[in-house]
Structure 1
Amino acid sequence: MSIISPQPPRTGSTAKKAVAAPAQENAQGMSQPMDPMNSWAMWRRGADWPTVVWITVVHASALAAPFYFSWQGFTAFVLLYIATGMFGICMGYHRLLTHGSFQTYRPIRWLLAFLGGLSGEGSALTWVANHRKHHKFSDKAGDPHSPRHGKWWAHIFWFMPNLGQKWRKEVLERYAPDMMKDRVMVWLDRMFLPSQFAMGAVLYAIGYYGTALGMGGENAVYYGCSMFFWGLALRMVYVMHVTWLINSATHLWGYRNYETTDDSKNLWWVALLSFGEGWHNNHHAYQRVAAQGHKWWELDTTNWAILAMEKLGLAWNVVRVRDIPDGTRPA
């Protein structure tokens, strides 16, 4: 079992066949020609307007949250931050689906992918494919979001240029063939936007009708807006930026436990915000290891949750640091 390989994990029925890589890849790992990252040649094709509008609307909506504060809305913010951030993105999208750091039942895989989608960062298909590409070309020409191409590019702008549907299709086929074979994952990709609207409606309804939770009544509209703006918009913006800090900040600042071939670093404050994901140099060194905190004081709550699932029989084949073969060089 490879500890450092960023290639798609092969489990269950998805392991039967692999989609062949393009016959000839360019320096960025794609057969489709691609302009240099964050270059004028790339931007002159225009912006990916659906994505730009989505990000703009979510951020603008988050600005309304302070005007509709309630403790119920704040509680929704915290609970959904944990559900979509730790379980959806960190455990589901990243450690399970991208790297195969552990195995679990298919319904749990689908649930974690659904929660990851509610983060607003895109479907599991696109997130996983882009992240695997990031690992293959980390801080090289093919890296989708290296700070070497600009700090703000790495943080927020890298997914905004219009690269075309052919490029998206090839990225998915090249870097997420296992995901493409899972009909539920494909369905979740199609349901990305509808699920956001449904979530917003549910949160508003809870605030509007939630008399048992101290909401509703004469202030029903206020509480509905509070649940929507805190539980959906502000929470989504917060989770997005915490995730994006891993793309930007942890390739710029921090310390290194391992001499990897990229700029990845461990940054304690990002690790605290991101449930352990900020120990990024550890992760880049040995990508399939479930624990990203490798020192006793490097707290990793996502790994604690994985180990708890293992104790309950909900996770198995958890890749540990001790599974790294002696003499294995960091990636």
Structure 2
Amino acid sequence: MTIVQSILLALVIGVVVTQVAHMCTTVYLHRALSHRALTVAKPVALVFRFLLWITTGIKPKEWVAVHRKHHAFTDTEGDPHSPVLLGWKRVQISNVKLYRDTAAQPETISRYAKDLPDDTWDKLFFGHHKTGLALGISILVIVFGPFVGLLAAAIHMNYYLAANAAVNALGHHFGRRPYENGATNLQWLALLTLGEGLHNNHHAAPSTARLAHRWYEVDPGWWIIRGMTFLRVATLRFDGVRLLPPARPSVTPTA
């Protein structure tokens, strides 16, 4: 295999791994755990947790707590990662640090994730994020070799972190606002994150599993959820779009 072929292979693998991580993030962490928009069967939830462990090292209750706090204080004092308060460039660059700083506050976890206590799996495996990341990288290296495996891991890390930061940074600064809230819709970002870029829609209806509200909007995460409901491994909280009371179509969406 030539060096060019190795790089292209690493690129494909890195993107695939990132999409797996995005799937676990949007379907399980975000829509299922954070907002209870759907309930996932326990064996499937365990698969999601394992995949998150080896692809991101994220501790679910920390991610959930920070996200719920974001919704409680959206773009006001107390929001962990508001570009309105901090500037979108700082949020884009420092998103991981902002998450860690907020998750490190004991009151954040106790208040916003008290329904997610550690279980045996967390204590033995999933609570040890470095072990999960090391395992994930080791699998790539063993299967594809050191060069391709490590390069794929680097591509995945940069893609995943940049895309998730963009949802918080760009998704509250640039884009369309069909509903009257501070978040925005960026369809190109939604395609890169399996739907997360439809952020204005999400803030308008956070307990709804479907992020695409219009015929021309694309939410790949919803396709996965529909497949899960068809297989009866997930149950929706609501069938349709359930808007929050103040959320209504804006007269003049901004581009």
TM-score range, shorter chain: 0.7 to 0.9
Quote the residue 1:225 is aligned against.
147
- Name the CA distance, whole Å, in 2 between partners of 1:187 and 1:129: 21
- Name the CA distance, whole Å, in 2 between partners of 1:75 and 1:312: 28
User: Cα distance, 1:113 vs. partner?
Assistant: 2.5
Quote the residue 1:287 is aligned against.
206
Larger Rg, first or second structure (1 or 2):
1
Q: Which amino acid is the alignment partner of residue 174 of structure 2?
A: W
- Name the CA distance, whole Å, in 2 between partners of 1:301 and 1:164: 29
- Choose from 20, 30, 51 the match for 1:94: 30
Q: Which amino acid is the alignment partner of residue 106 of structure 1?
A: K
User: Relative to 1, partners in 2 of residues 1:227 and 1:273: Cα closer, same or farther, differing over 3 Å?
Assistant: same
Are residues 1:275 and 2:194 paired?
A: yes
User: Cα distance, 1:73 vs. partner?
Assistant: 2.5
- Asked if structure 2 preserves the Cα contact closer than 8 Å seen for 1:119 and 1:240, the reply is no
- Asked if structure 2 preserves the Cα contact closer than 8 Å seen for 1:267 and 1:279, the reply is yes
Are residues 1:251 and 2:188 paired?
A: no
Deviations 1:74-112 (A, max 9, x none): 3322321221112x1111111111111111211211221
- Asked if structure 2 preserves the Cα contact closer than 8 Å seen for 1:72 and 1:227, the reply is no
Quote the residue 2:253 is aligned against.
none
Are residues 1:114 and 2:33 paired?
A: no
Alignment of 1:154-173 (within 5 A): 154-160=91-97, 163=101, 167-173=104-110
TM-score of the two chains, using structure 1 as the length reference: 0.67
User: Cα distance, 1:328 vs. partner?
Assistant: 3.2
Deviations 1:179-221 (A, max 9, x none): 125443455552211011111111111124xxxxxxxxxxxxx
- Choose from 240, 246, 255 the match for 1:329: 246
Name the SS of the counterpart of 2:97 in structure 1.
Answer: coil
- Name the CA distance, whole Å, in 2 between partners of 1:186 and 1:145: 29
Quote the residue 2:128 is aligned against.
191
Q: Which runs of 5+ in 1 are unaligned?
A: 1-65, 209-223
How many residues align structurally? 244
Q: Which amino acid is the alignment partner of residue 154 of structure 1?
A: V
Q: Which amino acid is the alignment partner of residue 94 of structure 2?
A: F
Q: Which amino acid is the alignment partner of residue 223 of structure 2?
A: W
Quote the residue 2:163 is aligned against.
242
- Name the CA distance, whole Å, in 2 between partners of 1:177 and 1:310: 27
Are residues 1:153 and 2:74 paired?
A: no
User: Cα distance, 1:163 vs. partner?
Assistant: 4.9
Q: Which amino acid is the alignment partner of residue 183 of structure 2?
A: S
TM-score of the two chains, using structure 2 as the length reference: 0.86
- Name the CA distance, whole Å, in 1 between partners of 2:20 and 2:30: 14
User: Cα distance, 1:283 vs. partner?
Assistant: 0.2
Q: Which runs of 5+ in 2 are unaligned?
A: 249-255
Quote the residue 2:70 is aligned against.
134
Deviations 1:14-71 (A, max 9, x none): xxxxxxxxxxxxxxxxxxxxxxxxxxxxxxxxxxxxxxxxxxxxxxxxxxxx988344
Quote the residue 2:251 is aligned against.
none
Deviations 1:203-244 (A, max 9, x none): 111124xxxxxxxxxxxxxxx3212211x1211210111111
User: Cα distance, 1:276 vs. partner?
Assistant: 1.1
User: Cα distance, 1:329 vs. partner?
Assistant: 3.0
State the Cα RMSD in Å.
2.5
Name the SS of the counterpart of 2:11 in structure 1.
Answer: helix
